Amino acid sequence: MSTDTHIETVLIHGGFDHDTQTGAVNVPIYQTSTYKQQSLNSPTNGWEYSRTGNPTRAALENTIKVLEGGEAGFAFASGMAAISAVLMLFRAGDKILVSRNVYGGTFRVLDKIFTRFNLNYELVDTGDLKKIEERITPDVKAIYVETPTNPLMEITDLAGIAALAGKYGIISIVDNTFMTPYLQRPLSFGIDIVVHSATKYLGGHSDLIAGLVVTAGGKGLADKIAFIQNSTGGVLQPFDSFLLIRGIKTLGVRMDRHVQNAEKLVDYLSAHQAVSRVYYPGLKEFAGYELNASQAVNGGAMFSFELKKGYDVRKFFHSLKVFTLAESLGGVESLACHPATMTHASIPADIREKLGITDNLIRLSPGIEHIDSLIADLENALNESRS
Ligand SMILES: *Cc1c(COP(=O)(O)O)cnc(C)c1O
């Protein structure tokens, strides 16, 4: 296997060299639940049962481990299955501090499922390390962070979070879905666990649901997650593991174009008379610009913007022809989302407004189409939205 560390090369060669039986350059889809044992207590090369381990899934798990620079990788049937497995590290009476703008599904599973088992959480502004430190009581066992957050792109100091976690002997967890290891590697700042919705950029084609976990070494986390994965069983299937490996190979070229398109669209929208505000970590005048630049390659490809009063969001979405109105993000096709009625609909309107998630806020996930098609589409929809 190649030991080259350029990430573009690792994306292609990092997880799997070739099939030793046939020389196949791609990992075969081992569509099997079980493996023949030649005699008692002698599983073939360690493979026993596919919930516990499967060679196609293992190739994927090795790929994400190498990409994030961790000790071990784990593949799950969805981002939420991956996140839930990580939350199962904790026990009744423990508390987790969570980014206040955390992904809605993460909030829901904490609020509606894990609290049933007395695992508590508290939403905090993870942009403010002092405020977090004030909240670290003896029952706090973890800090869970997204950076940037959705949809306002707030940035959290990864090294700062890791240092706090180290100081108090608690576990730091980062959802790296928005940036991917191509743009940001939280473990390199001392974070303990990275989770992904691989449904988004890693898969990249809006054709699968998957989740990944990567653990850093030193705290026995790999063995614990392996035990939880095998015990609770939310594993990714061999075919989806294969698709995800295939998606990850082109992550670099896709992200380059996603980011390039995002930067051009942000420039275009920032200068547009219909737009009052743009939230993008790659904008010099954005509050989190410097911090993000210190820990990520660039501002990523996700951004949000607000229409001025007098412009109608309904008409805007209705007029889009290239952008698709849809949940999700990170696919090759451009998607547009209305946080107030879609991803953040469960938050009461007054709290939403206070957070800045106004009814006129629009989130875009630029795909890899030609930039002129995307600008023309927005230009038309902005004109149509004038009411
Ligand atoms: C989509 C998403 C998730 C949930 O992942 P699924 O694959 O949909 O289960 C978690 N975190 C973030 C940031 C996401 O965007």
> How would you write the chain as a 3-class SS string?
CCCCCCHHHHHHHCCCCCCCCCCCCCCCCCCCCECCECCCCCEECCECECCCCCHHHHHHHHHHHHHHCCCEEEEECCHHHHHHHHHCCCCCCCEEEEECCCCHHHHHHHHHHHHHHCCEEEEECCCCHHHHHHHCCCCEEEEEEECCCCCCCCCCCHHHHHHHHHHHCCEEEEECCCCHHHHCCHHHHCCCEEEEECCCCCCCCCCCCCEEEEECCCCCHHHHHHHHHHHHCCECCHHHHHHHHHHHHCHHHHHHHHHHHHHHHHHHHHCCCCEEEEECCCCCCCCCHHHHHHHCCCCCCCEEEEECCCECHHHHHHHCCCCEECCCCCCCCCEEECCCCCCCCCCCHHHHHHHCCCCCEEEEECCCCCHHHHHHHHHHHHHHCEC
Answer whether 80 contacts ligand 1 (Cβ < 6 A): yes
Q: Is 157 a catalytic site residue?
A: no
Answer whether 338 contacts ligand 1 (Cβ < 6 A): no
Q: Is 175 a catalytic site residue?
A: yes
Answer whether 211 contacts ligand 1 (Cβ < 6 A): yes
Answer whether 181 contacts ligand 1 (Cβ < 6 A): no
Q: Give 237-292 pLDDT, tens digit per residue.
A: 999 999 999 999 999 999 999 999 999 999 999 999 999 999 999 999 999 999 99
Find the catalytic residue in 30, 95, 121, 175: 175
Q: Give 154-177 pLDDT, tens digit per residue.
A: 999 999 999 999 999 999 999 999
- Of the chain, the percentage scoring pLDDT greater than 70 comes to 99
Answer whether 78 contacts ligand 1 (Cβ < 6 A): yes
Find the catalytic residue in 35, 51, 257, 267: 51
One-letter amino acid at 61 equals E
- Cα 265 to Cα 42, 61, 78, 268, distances in angstroms: 58, 34, 30, 5
Q: Give 288-320 pLDDT, tens digit per residue.
A: 999 999 999 999 999 999 999 999 999 999 999
Residue whose CB lies within 8 A of the most ligand 1 atoms, among 199, 235, 240, 244, for a mutation test: 199
Q: What is the pLDDT of residue 43?
A: 83
In this predicted structure, the answer to whether residue 345 has a pLDDT above a threshold of 90 is no
- Centre of ligand 1 from the C-alpha of residue 39, in Å: 43
- Of the chain, the percentage scoring pLDDT greater than 90 comes to 88
Average pLDDT of the chain, as a whole number: 95
Answer whether 209 contacts ligand 1 (Cβ < 6 A): yes
Residue nearest to atom 4 of ligand 1 (CA): 79
Residue whose CB lies within 8 A of the most ligand 1 atoms, among 184, 197, 206, 213, for a mutation test: 197
Q: What is the pLDDT of residue 1?
A: 63
Does the global pTM surpass 0.95? Answer: yes
Residue nearest to atom 1 of ligand 1 (CA): 197
Q: How confident is the model at residue 349 (pLDDT cuts 50, 70, 90)?
A: confident
Residue nearest to atom 6 of ligand 1 (CA): 79
Report phi then psi at 290, rounded to 5.
-65, -45
Cα atoms found within 13 Å of the Cα of residue 275, Cβ hemisphere only: 19
Find the catalytic residue in 30, 95, 103, 352: 103
Residues 6+ apart with CB under 8 A from 154: 99, 101, 126, 127, 147, 148, 287, 288
Q: Give 22-38 pLDDT, tens digit per residue.
A: 999 999 999 999 999 98
- Centre of ligand 1 from the C-alpha of residue 229, in Å: 18
Answer whether 105 contacts ligand 1 (Cβ < 6 A): yes
In this predicted structure, the answer to whether residue 2 has a pLDDT above a threshold of 70 is no
Mean pLDDT of 137-150: 97
Judge contact between 153 and 286, C-beta under 8 A.
yes
Q: Which of 14-23, 142-151, 181-190 has the lowest mean pLDDT?
A: 14-23
Q: What is the pLDDT of residue 123?
A: 93
- Centre of ligand 1 from the C-alpha of residue 199, in Å: 7
Q: What is the pLDDT of residue 350?
A: 86
Distance of alpha carbon 104 from alpha carbon 352, whole angstroms: 13
Q: What is the pLDDT of residue 354?
A: 85
Residue whose CB lies within 8 A of the most ligand 1 atoms, among 200, 302, 328, for a mutation test: 200
Find the catalytic residue in 95, 185, 200, 363: 200
Q: How confident is the model at residue 15 (pLDDT cuts 50, 70, 90)?
A: confident
Q: Which of 11-15, 68-72, 222-226, 227-231 has the lowest mean pLDDT?
A: 11-15
